[in-house]
Amino acid sequence: MNKLFGLLCFVAIGLSNLTAQNLNFNDSWKFFNDKAVGAEHVSFDDSKWRNLNLPHDWAIEGPFDVKYNARAGGLPFHGTGWYRKHFKMNADAKGKVVRLEFEGAMYNANVWVNGKFVGKRPYGYIGFEFDVSKYLKYDGSDNIVAVRLTPEDLSSRWYPGAGLYRSVWLKIDNPIHVGQWGTFITTPTVTKEIGVIQNETTVVNKSGKDETVTVKQEYYNSENNLIASEKEELTVKANGSAVSELYTKIKKPLIWDLDTPHLYNAVTTISKGNNVLDTYKTRFGMRTIAYTKDGFFLNNKPVRFNGVCIHHDNGSLGSAVYKRADERKLQIMKSMGVNAIRTSHNPPSREFLEICDELGLLVQDEAFDVWKMKKVPNGYNKFFDEWGERDLKDMVLRDRNHPSIVMWSIGNEIIEQKDKKNGWRVAKRLNDYVKEIDLTRPTSAGFNNYSGPYDNNMAQQVDIAGVNYKPTKYSELRENYPELALYGSETSSCTSSRGVYHLPIEKYKTHESKHVTSYDLIGPPWAYPPDVEFHFQEQNPHSMGEFIWTGFDYLGEPTPYGGKDNSTNGYWNADWPSHSSYFGAVDLCGFPKDRFFLYQSQWTTEPMIHLLPHWNWKGMEGQTIPVYCYTNCDSAELFVNGKSMGKRVKGKDLTELKVNFLRYEPKTFQSKYRLSWDVPYESGNIKVVGYKNGKQILEEQINTAGKPAKISLSVDRKEINADGEDLAYVTVRIEDKFGNLCPNADNLVNFSVKGAGELLAVDNGNQTSVESFQANHRKAFSGMCLAIVKADDVSGKITLYAKSKKLKSSKLEITSK
């Protein structure tokens, strides 16, 4: 559709025999990354500007540089960027309502059409639209839309990206049509036998007279079979709007749940007589949610949040939205045992929520990281008074039909927690804004300033109090506030670098390598190993669960290097080139760290076992190497070169962890969640065997690798869509001649692509690498790197070639259909 529409735009957009159009407007934009005086005017010459398609994040193109803030990824996200698009419309569109919808523009967007200013929107994370009907020419001559973005330095605590990073749409409707985000579908009754669908649809009348129309609601299951319908007559005042309210019952509904995320479609038709004026599709799910002081219930069943916080960037792709990138990210999270996502700390893309609906993931949709009181000098606080209400309400309006969303968050670690006089008033106002639109879901916020928000009446303004990094206070909170529902809205904040192990095991602040050990015990002062949260969640069954910080590494905020969280004194470049997060259970590439398996061992029931560290310690023969095992088996036995090192029983044999975090006096923690052995090193192999009910059920072995000899390639999907957008993720391993991963290899790998695709990006998960994501080469890190291939819009074979000096090269074939 994108390519076809790009062609239509430059020929003419015709509307004959069409009631409405929602046309993708992503193709054939012009871009200039600097100030351009007069670029909003029709007469401006943009012939030398760069041609590109959206979505586009100009900052991810780099370069990395110490002159940029490592806290925001060390990339040039601030400055001025201009986008212009030329298109034609013919006389058929005249008299229609033509709107431009931007799903996201980062940030401080100003929009002109044919030289006329049509509007602005400062917040980069929320979508918006403008009615541009009166600015357009309908005689087949050139129309020009111009967008200026001016993101500021010191405006974000992480990498925000830059540009038109989400999709743009041209929406052409009759004067009478369904309004923006105009449907609200709820399911007040859902049982195995019967389901009630309640549909509130806002109908807009931009004509000059009152009109009476028929509103018909049809409901289809996933097989596209019509299962129910209702209709009514509705009178809509001239230049006004009215709401149609209809409900219907269906028998034996297919319920949206974690393991069976069934989805339905509602098709709303607005007609007058025999003339159809508009059709509008809404996807929804049938489910119930409930919260009490003792837990969260989905479809009347108790569910605990095995949750992760996730930022919006996709590593080497930056903030540009590719649906497959988010799909893969969420699939990886689900394989870890995750059932819930916190969209820290801003509204996510439409595609992200659609995937959560499809995968059966619960979502906390979060609006803000800051209100009026600043965390960084040029943050959202500058816009909050003018735009806070609009942005919050628009988030709820946009997202309220997603069954995956089970709560709204009005803020994260808001500085107003310390404001005894006014903080609670702001929280109440924001809570009320949400309730004006949606009474079916609770509100929440992430509170870190214990016990301030509780003492200051702020936590009481939301339905559910989120607790950041205070596991030792769960029981105290229950005692002091027995009716207040709570959960761990941010937990652990453990940091690590994939495949890196520092010996001896010790609790340090930073390491000279600028990496962090994957023995999973290091973190900033407020942080603690995952085991601690597991323990206190078990001790406090009234907690609804946790959202770990974070599921994936993200660009920027390279704690524990470079700076202090929430500081307002500028740059975090003291430990350059550290420039991306160490917090993830998964690295920027999507490669699991060891911590991934620690969570998997607690959050999944499918038998699993994981062994660490690697077994290449040349020069350390005879020295003690701590070996850890993460498993959901009853017990595990370790073997070194075939010799048993003993069996360990989970829950009985404890592993001592060194800890040092706020509000916790002991300097060690006895973990029942890890099995461990101290083993004198000798080359060869280590193997762990897992047992359930006394029976051996699985094992894992790590061999000492020889010299790097070859490149091994594997792909997440061998067949992708030829739509110009779909992606294939290729894992690159440096192996010895026997196929063992070389865990210390850092060979430079060169890539080339032939056929119906292109190399889109490369990465290796190294938080200190300043190699370009846009290059055709990448060094391995801990023996691995990544290549991302994007399909063209023509079917065919795509071949990726990978070469490196002194290594056997490799190639991989992907089919694009």
Angle at 786 between CA 782 and CA 791, to 5 degrees: 175
Active site residue 413: yes
For the chain, the first-to-last Cα distance in angstroms comes to: 15
538's tokens: 């078990």
Q: To 10 degrees, the CA torsion angle through 44, 99, 27, 313?
A: 100
Distance CA 371, CA 409 (A): 13
- Cβ(539)–Cβ(474) under 8 Å? yes
Distance, CA of 401 to CA of 365 (rounded, Å): 12
Amino acid type, 67: K
Among 218, 366, 413, 771, the one annotated catalytic: 413
For 174, list phi and psi in degrees, rounded to 5.
-70, 165
Q: Which is it for strands 176-190 and 194-205: parallel, antiparallel or unpaired?
A: antiparallel
Which residues is 635 bridged to in the sheet?
649, 691
Rounded to whole angstroms, the Cα distance separating 219 from 231 reads 12
> Within 10 A of 226 (CB to CB), how many other CB atoms are there?
10
Q: In a 3-state reduction of DSSP, which class is residue 230? A: strand
Q: Kindly provide the residue ranges of all beta strands, DSSP E only, lying in 659-783, ordered along the sequence.
A: 668-671, 675-680, 685-692, 695-703, 710-715, 719-720, 727-735, 748-755, 757-763, 777-779
Residue type, 351: E
* DSSP letter, residue 358: H
Single-letter residue type at 331 = Q
8 A C-beta contact, residue 246 and residue 288: no
Residue identified by tokens 């990544």 is 786
Q: Is residue 720 within 8 Å of 814, Cβ to Cβ?
A: yes
Asked if residues 780 and 336 have their Cβ atoms less than 8 Å apart, the reply is no
Q: Does residue 492 contact residue 529 with C-beta atoms inside 8 Å?
A: yes
Q: Which of 137, 73, 126, 129 lies closest to 104, judged by CA?
A: 126
Classify each residue of 65-97 as buried b or exposed e, where b means 16 or more C-beta atoms within 10 Å of its C-beta.
eeebbbbbbbbbbbbbbbbbbebbbbebbeebb
Pairing mode of beta strands 226-236, 211-220: antiparallel
**How far is C-alpha 218 from the geometric centre of its chain's CA atoms?**
32
DSSP 476-517: HHHHH-TT-EEEEEEE---B--TT---SS----S--TTS---
Q: How many CB atoms lie within 10 A of CB 623?
A: 12
CA distance 449 to 16: 60
Q: Distance (Å, rounded) from C-alpha 524 to C-alpha 497? A: 15
Spot the catalytic one: 40, 211, 416, 490. 490
Q: Residues 559, 581: contact at Cβ < 8 Å?
A: yes
- Of 456, 792, 509, which is closest to residue 658 (Cα–Cα)? 509
C-alpha span between 712 and 749 (Å, rounded): 11
Structure tokens, 183: 């449907």
Secondary structure (H, E, C), 587-633: CCCCCECHHHHHHHHHHCCCCCEEEECCCCCCCCCCCEEEEEEEECC
Residues marked as catalytic: 413, 490
